[in-house]
Protein backbone atom coordinates (compact mmCIF):
# COMPACT_ATOMS: atom_id res chain seq x y z
CA UNK A 1 0.00 0.00 0.00
CA UNK A 2 1.35 3.40 -0.93
CA UNK A 3 0.04 6.84 -0.17
CA UNK A 4 -2.18 8.65 -2.65
CA UNK A 5 0.10 11.67 -2.46
CA UNK A 6 3.63 10.44 -1.70
CA UNK A 7 5.07 13.95 -1.41
CA UNK A 8 2.61 14.90 1.33
CA UNK A 9 3.14 11.56 3.05
CA UNK A 10 6.92 12.06 3.00
CA UNK A 11 6.52 15.52 4.49
CA UNK A 12 4.28 14.16 7.26
CA UNK A 13 6.76 11.38 8.02
CA UNK A 14 9.62 13.88 8.21
CA UNK A 15 7.60 15.89 10.72
CA UNK A 16 6.95 12.78 12.78
CA UNK A 17 10.65 11.88 12.73
CA UNK A 18 11.56 15.40 13.84
CA UNK A 19 9.08 15.21 16.72
CA UNK A 20 10.46 11.87 17.91
CA UNK A 21 14.04 13.16 17.82
CA UNK A 22 13.06 16.30 19.71
CA UNK A 23 11.35 14.22 22.40
CA UNK A 24 14.43 12.01 22.62
CA UNK A 25 16.60 15.07 23.17
CA UNK A 26 14.32 16.29 25.94
CA UNK A 27 14.31 12.84 27.57
CA UNK A 28 18.11 12.75 27.55
CA UNK A 29 18.14 16.09 29.39
CA UNK A 30 16.34 14.41 32.31
CA UNK A 31 19.02 11.73 32.68
CA UNK A 32 21.59 13.84 34.63
CA UNK A 33 19.07 14.36 37.41
CA UNK A 34 18.54 10.61 37.73
CA UNK A 35 22.30 9.97 37.71
CA UNK A 36 22.91 12.59 40.39
CA UNK A 37 20.66 10.61 42.74
CA UNK A 38 22.36 7.29 41.97
CA UNK A 39 25.31 5.84 43.87
CA UNK A 40 27.85 6.57 41.10
CA UNK A 41 27.04 10.25 40.91
CA UNK A 42 27.24 12.67 38.04
CA UNK A 43 30.76 13.14 36.70
CA UNK A 44 31.84 15.82 34.26
CA UNK A 45 32.33 13.26 31.51
CA UNK A 46 28.86 11.82 31.92
CA UNK A 47 27.26 15.25 31.98
CA UNK A 48 29.16 16.36 28.87
CA UNK A 49 28.26 13.17 27.00
CA UNK A 50 24.57 13.52 27.81
CA UNK A 51 24.41 17.23 26.99
CA UNK A 52 26.18 16.69 23.66
CA UNK A 53 23.81 13.83 22.79
CA UNK A 54 20.77 15.96 23.70
CA UNK A 55 21.98 18.86 21.54
CA UNK A 56 22.76 16.54 18.61
CA UNK A 57 19.30 14.94 18.86
CA UNK A 58 17.62 18.35 18.84
CA UNK A 59 19.74 19.48 15.89
CA UNK A 60 18.95 16.24 14.05
CA UNK A 61 15.26 17.00 14.46
CA UNK A 62 15.85 20.20 12.52
CA UNK A 63 17.54 18.53 9.55
CA UNK A 64 14.86 15.97 8.79
CA UNK A 65 13.95 17.79 5.59
CA UNK A 66 17.40 17.01 4.19
CA UNK A 67 17.83 13.77 2.21
CA UNK A 68 20.27 12.43 4.82
CA UNK A 69 18.21 13.53 7.83
CA UNK A 70 16.36 10.26 8.31
CA UNK A 71 19.59 8.27 8.16
CA UNK A 72 21.18 10.61 10.71
CA UNK A 73 18.23 10.08 13.03
CA UNK A 74 18.51 6.33 12.60
CA UNK A 75 22.22 6.39 13.46
CA UNK A 76 21.49 8.47 16.58
CA UNK A 77 19.28 5.71 17.95
CA UNK A 78 22.43 3.73 18.82
CA UNK A 79 23.96 6.27 21.24
CA UNK A 80 20.51 6.90 22.69
CA UNK A 81 20.18 3.23 23.54
CA UNK A 82 23.75 3.13 24.85
CA UNK A 83 22.89 5.72 27.49
CA UNK A 84 21.65 2.65 29.32
CA UNK A 85 25.31 2.04 30.17
CA UNK A 86 25.26 5.29 32.15
CA UNK A 87 22.01 4.65 34.00
CA UNK A 88 19.98 1.47 33.76
CA UNK A 89 16.61 3.22 33.44
CA UNK A 90 17.70 4.50 30.02
CA UNK A 91 17.67 0.94 28.67
CA UNK A 92 13.91 1.10 29.04
CA UNK A 93 13.44 4.70 27.87
CA UNK A 94 15.90 4.33 24.99
CA UNK A 95 14.34 1.01 24.02
CA UNK A 96 10.89 2.58 23.83
CA UNK A 97 12.21 5.37 21.61
CA UNK A 98 14.04 2.89 19.37
CA UNK A 99 10.82 0.88 18.96
CA UNK A 100 8.93 4.07 18.08
CA UNK A 101 11.63 4.93 15.53
CA UNK A 102 11.48 1.46 13.96
CA UNK A 103 7.69 1.72 13.76
CA UNK A 104 8.05 5.12 12.08
CA UNK A 105 10.41 3.60 9.48
CA UNK A 106 7.97 0.73 8.89
CA UNK A 107 5.04 3.09 8.33
CA UNK A 108 7.19 5.20 6.01
CA UNK A 109 8.12 2.08 4.05
CA UNK A 110 4.45 1.12 3.70
CA UNK A 111 3.43 4.61 2.59
CA UNK A 112 6.35 5.45 0.32
CA UNK A 113 7.81 2.08 -0.64
CA UNK A 114 11.20 2.80 0.95
CA UNK A 115 12.19 3.62 4.52
CA UNK A 116 14.97 6.00 3.44
CA UNK A 117 14.56 6.97 -0.22
CA UNK A 118 12.75 9.95 -1.62
CA UNK A 119 9.12 9.41 -2.65
CA UNK A 120 8.40 8.51 -6.24
CA UNK A 121 6.48 11.34 -7.86
CA UNK A 122 3.75 9.99 -10.17
CA UNK A 123 3.75 11.11 -13.77
CA UNK A 124 1.28 13.88 -14.68
CA UNK A 125 -2.09 12.43 -15.63
CA UNK A 126 -1.34 9.13 -13.93
CA UNK A 127 -4.03 8.64 -11.30
CA UNK A 128 -2.37 5.98 -9.14
CA UNK A 129 1.30 6.15 -10.05
CA UNK A 130 1.35 2.51 -11.16
CA UNK A 131 2.84 1.69 -14.56
CA UNK A 132 0.30 1.00 -17.27
CA UNK A 133 0.53 -1.89 -19.68
CA UNK A 134 0.10 -1.31 -23.28
Domain residue ranges of the chain, discontinuous segments joined by +? 6-112
68-119 per-position pLDDT tens digit? 999 999 999 999 999 988 888 889 999 999 999 999 999 988 888 777 767 6
Q: What is the pLDDT of residue 134?
A: 47
29-41 per-position pLDDT tens digit? 988 887 877 767 7
Q: What is the pLDDT of residue 37?
A: 77
The DSSP annotation for the chain comes to: ---SSHHHHHHHHHHHHHHHHHHHHHHHHHHHHHHHHSSS---HHHHHHHHHHHHHHHHHHHTTTSTTHHHHHHHTHHHHHHGGGT-THHHHHHHHHHHHHHHHHHHHHHHHS-SSSPPPPPPTT-SS-PPPP-
Q: What is the pLDDT of residue 113?
A: 79
- Structure pTM? 0.81
Amino acid sequence: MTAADPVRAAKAMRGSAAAVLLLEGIAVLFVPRAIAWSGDGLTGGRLTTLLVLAVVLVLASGVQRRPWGLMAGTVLQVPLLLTGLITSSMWFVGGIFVLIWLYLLQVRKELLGSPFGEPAVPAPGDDDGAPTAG
